[in-house]
Amino acid sequence: MFGAFKPSAPLSGGLLWKIPWRLSPPQKLRHRRRMRRVDNIVSVLDTALKRQAATSAAPAPSSSALSPPASSSSPAPSDLSRAAGGHQRLLASTTPTPTAAQNAVRNGRDTLPTTKRTTPPITAALRNEGTIKLIERWKAEMPTEQEMLPRDKYSMFDRKAKGYRKGVHKLPKWTRVSQRLNPPGF
């Protein structure tokens, strides 16, 4: 009667599996952490490939030049590279911050729908740097967790939903897929 196997509607009925309308705050926190973890993995791959390409091209001197200088106030780069989201902080100083227009496009708020999201073509120069097309495309198109609006973090486009939005947790396997982009204007 009581306990884990008490006859509740989902257990005894069958086709009744309720998903709450909204995400709870801890769910949101875990979701943010998962997104940051994915961002971190992409940056780990990117830096590793670039470093490997640099060292294989010019063995000794470039490797020391590539590694960022460790300042005494901030944690050591080796520590940062281990922590979740650490690589993001490492790269924050080096990578150019996206412009407001880019962010507007990503967030679906831009006024000009003619600006298309275009992937930069992978050129010979990029190939020499060691990056791969997948990563370049991800970096060009996907916003990082910090760049996203809360509305895009926690909800997604749904053509059948009222207001064209539903909670991102309604997406099947939502903890194991990257759903960050929505149609422009929605």
Partner 1 sequence: MSTPTRFFRITLLRSAIGLPTRSTGVLKALGLHRRLRTVYHPVTPDVAGQVFAVKELVDVQEVDRALSDKEMKELRQPDTGFYVERRAGAKQGETVEEA
Q: Tell me the C-alpha distance between 8 and 20, whole Å.
A: 16
Structure tokens at 39: 């961002």
Interface with partner 1 includes 81 (CB under 8 A)? Answer: yes
Kindly give, in sequence order, each residue whose CB lies less than 8 Å from that of residue 99, ignoring residues fewer than 6 positions away. none
Residue whose CB is less far from partner 1, 34 or 184: 34
Structure tokens at 124: 């010979």
Residue whose CB is less far from partner 1, 84 or 161: 84
DSSP 54: H
Query: Nearest distance from residue 141's CB to partner 1, in Å?
Result: 14
Q: Which region, judged by CB under 8 A, interacts with partner 1, from 18-26, 32-40, 104-112, 144-152? A: 32-40
Residue whose CB is less far from partner 1, 32 or 184: 32
Residue type, 15: L
**170, burial (CB in 10 Å: exposed 0-12, middle 13-18, buried 19+):** middle
Residue whose CB is less far from partner 1, 49 or 104: 49
- What 3-state class would DSSP assign to 170? helix
Interface with partner 1 includes 138 (CB under 8 A)? Answer: yes
The residue ranges that bind partner 1 (CB under 8 A) are: 34, 37-38, 41-42, 44-45, 47-49, 51-52, 55-56, 59, 81-82, 130, 132, 134-135, 138, 173, 175-178
